[in-house]
Structure 1
Amino acid sequence: MADKRRFDLFADLLVTRFPQALRVYDIAGGMGKLNESLTQRGRTVTTFDLRHKHLPVKYAQRLFTLEEPCEAELVVGMHPDGATRIIIEYAARHGLGFAVVPCCSDNGMPYKPWMRHLADVARDAGFTTVEEAALPMDGRARVLLGVWR
């Protein structure tokens, strides 16, 4: 069973670690629960996902690509499945911070090597700080954070 506090816990971490980031892209955000939590904390959030049924939040019902115009200061994903790597690549392309809580790899790689691989991708892309944090919850709770130069 997924921890029902995960969105609030992640939102709290994001506003603490990225206090200046007021505009956020939430990638593969499902129903928009992270959007809702961040909005309650004073952020302007756009959730990107293909889901038809979602909360009444700012929602772009489409796949997120590297060509998306940048109107954000932070790119995040809570268990974004196959969109995890694109979050890092998009943030690097636009010089933004990122934070992801991967639940699984999009290439069949086991979880711990996948986390190491994502950290290497971020470092190779030019992020000056790449680190892990842990959310105080059950389930996949490791967060990979990247700060751009």
Structure 2
Amino acid sequence: MADKRRFDLFADLIVSRFLAPRVFDVAGGQGKLNEALTRRGRAVTTFDLRHKHLPVTYAQRIFTLDEPCDAELVVGMHPDGATRVIIEYAARHRLPFAVVPCCSDNGMPYNPWMRHLAELARSAGFTTVEEVTLSMDGRARVLVGEHSPVESR
């Protein structure tokens, strides 16, 4: 069973770590992370295909690398097959990212998947790639990627 605190815990990490006022929440399901971040003063757009969702700013479509960039941070809470896209999009637009992967999109076991994502981020030019663990049950490892301050946009 998923930890009901996961969205608030992840939102707390995001706002404590990043000053970004505008956030893209990729594969955000019903928009619960959006809701948690909005309560913390962030402007968030959630991307997902769900028809039923919370009354938050919501783009009912698949997030792609071609999405116009109108954010300073890209995040995902258990985004399934969108995990890699989050990292690649952030790299393309020189944005930081924070993602809580739950599973791989290629059947890879979890620990190798986490190592693969960290290497993907490093090879995409992120100068800082680190893992943070949320104090919650379930998949709680957050992969964070940032560019050096001199290189940020």
TM-score if structure 2 supplies the norm length?
0.96
Q: 1:17: how far off?
A: 1.0
Aligned-residue identity in percent: 81
Cα distance in structure 2, aligned partners of 1:117 and 1:16: 26
Superposed structure 1 runs of 4+ greater than 4 Å apart? none
| Match in the other structure for 1:46 | 45
SS of equivalent residue, structure 1 residue 54: coil
* Superimposed CA distance per residue, residues 77-129 of structure 1 (whole angstroms, 9 cap, x where no aligned partner): 00000000000000000000000000000000000000000000000000010
- Write the letter of the residue equivalent to 2:100: V
Quote the Cα distance in structure 2 between the aligned partners of 1:14 and 1:113: 25
- The answer to whether the aligner puts 1:138 opposite 2:137 as a matched pair is yes
RMSD after superposition: 0.4
- Secondary structure of 2:146's aligned partner: strand
Q: Which residue of 2 aligns with 1:74?
A: 73
Aligned partner of 2:13 in structure 1 is: 13
State the shift of 1:52 in Å: 0.3
| 3-state SS in 2 of match to 1:143 | strand
Q: 1:38-88: per-residue Cα shift (whole Å, max 9, x none)?
A: 000000000000000000000000000000000000000000000000000
Aligned-partner residue type, residue 11 of structure 2: A
Match runs of 1:89-104 below 5 Å: 89-104=88-103
Secondary structure of 1:37's partner? helix
**Code of the aligned partner of 1:4:** K
**Consecutive unaligned residues in structure 1, runs of 5 or more:** none
Structure 2 gaps, min length 5: 149-153
**Matched ranges for 1:103-118 at <5 A:** 103-118=102-117
SS at match of 2:45: strand
Q: Which residue of 1 aligns with 2:30?
A: 31
CA distance in 2, matches of 1:22, 1:107: 33
Cα displacement (A) at 1:148: 1.7
Q: Could you tell me which residue of structure 1 aligns to residue 120 of structure 2?
A: 121
TM-score, normalising length: structure 1 = 0.99
Distance, in Å, in 1 between the alignment partners of 2:94 and 2:43 is 19
